[in-house]
Amino acid sequence: MTNVSKKRVFSGVQPTANLHLGNYLGAIRRFVELQNEPATECIYCVVDLHAITVPQDPEKLRAQTREVAAAYLAAGVDPVRSVIFVQSNVSAHAELAWILNCVARMGWLERMTQFKDKAGKNAERSSVGLFDYPVLMAADILTYKATHVPVGDDQKQHLELSRDIAARFNTDFKVDGFFPLPEPIIGGPAARVMNLQDGTKKMSKSDPADNSRINLTDSVDVMVKKIKKAKTDTLPMPAHVDELKSRPEVDNLVSIYAALSGQTKEQVVAEFVGAGFGVFKPRLADLAVEALGPTMTSMATYLADPAQIDAILRAGADRANAIAQPILKDTKAAVGFWS
């Protein structure tokens, strides 16, 4: 049996357009922090199988796949210390997803709020894949027997489902402890970065309004403009974090400032108490330029050399396959497949 003794981290980002500040602060920046922890093995995937749960243009999908890889690299994921690869290059994900489809229950998936949000009133016309999305996510994680999964807050329910699926597999096939129950790593002020024009909605790749988010492919000038145009209100900066509850847009900007400066929201509020946005926003813009500028520039450099990205992704797929195959073999044996 394949066993994992140290901490094994797995996470993924979809190659859908408009990678943004939420993806960076909620997930990608965490990937780098975890890679730098001792006795931690990190596996980071570009989840193209997930992306096709809604229609994608094939050429754009290929380009966006490189874009996510470039974001990982530019943010500081080291392709030697961590494994960076594309999901469709490792067939174990799809194979395990099928097995787990037969473990997960319809009722569990019917409770998933993200499907309800994404499908809206059109559930009948959604792809079966969109409904099944969280089972593939469980397969991604369990293909490597990952123990820890860094994600934004919106993935919490999916991770709970992954734990339920792992536990159910272990019970159904009488293989106690075969799949570890993956621990979510969610938290900090940027677990849920909100829309810059509407603080009640999360920052999202699919929002038609470009000024609702900071894209990792934006120029530094565009980023500064978007921060200056971000919605606020007419009151000065609050004296206490509790006041942020009724001021969602301000709460969001304070959270972004906290995440970028490595402070708590309390510290940021204490620093700016009573200031106007004419003071706070330029300070936030300067901080964003300092914290994100180098990553944005480096991303553009990587994107100018797609051959280098492709070579990294190919080598990563070989390494991912080498970890996944023995686990898949043991899984098939537990199920009772002939070999």
Residues lying near ligand TYM in the complex (CB under 6 A) are found at: 10-14, 22-23, 26-27, 47, 50, 137, 140-141, 149, 151-152, 154-155, 190-193, 202-203
16, amino acid identity: T
Q: Which of 118, 156, 265, 332 is catalytic?
A: 118
Local structure of residue 205 (DSSP, 8 states): T
Measured CA to CA, the distance from residue 173 to residue 136 in angstroms comes to 19
Q: Which of 7, 205, 225, 231 is catalytic?
A: 205
Least Å distance, CB 11 to ligand TYM, is 4
Shorter beta-carbon distance to ligand TYM: residue 204 or 236: 204
**Nearest Cα to 71, choosing from 311, 294, 230, 231?**
294
Least Å distance, CB 234 to ligand TYM, is 26
Q: Is 75 helix (H, G, I), strand (E, B) or coil?
A: helix
Shorter beta-carbon distance to ligand TYM: residue 136 or 268: 136
Q: Is 205 a catalytic residue?
A: yes
Q: Which of 145, 202, 226, 281 is catalytic?
A: 202
Least Å distance, CB 166 to ligand TYM, is 13
If phi > 0 it is left, if psi is from -120 to 50 it is alpha, else beta; for residue 252 that is alpha
Least Å distance, CB 19 to ligand TYM, is 8
Shorter beta-carbon distance to ligand TYM: residue 140 or 218: 140
Q: What are the phi and psi torsion angles at 116 (to 5°)?
A: -60, -40
Shorter beta-carbon distance to ligand TYM: residue 26 or 316: 26
Shorter beta-carbon distance to ligand TYM: residue 191 or 237: 191
Shorter beta-carbon distance to ligand TYM: residue 79 or 152: 152
Which residue has the CB atom at the shortest distance from ligand TYM?
26
Shorter beta-carbon distance to ligand TYM: residue 203 or 320: 203
Least Å distance, CB 155 to ligand TYM, is 4
Least Å distance, CB 13 to ligand TYM, is 4
Least Å distance, CB 259 to ligand TYM, is 9
**Residues designated catalytic:** 118, 202, 205
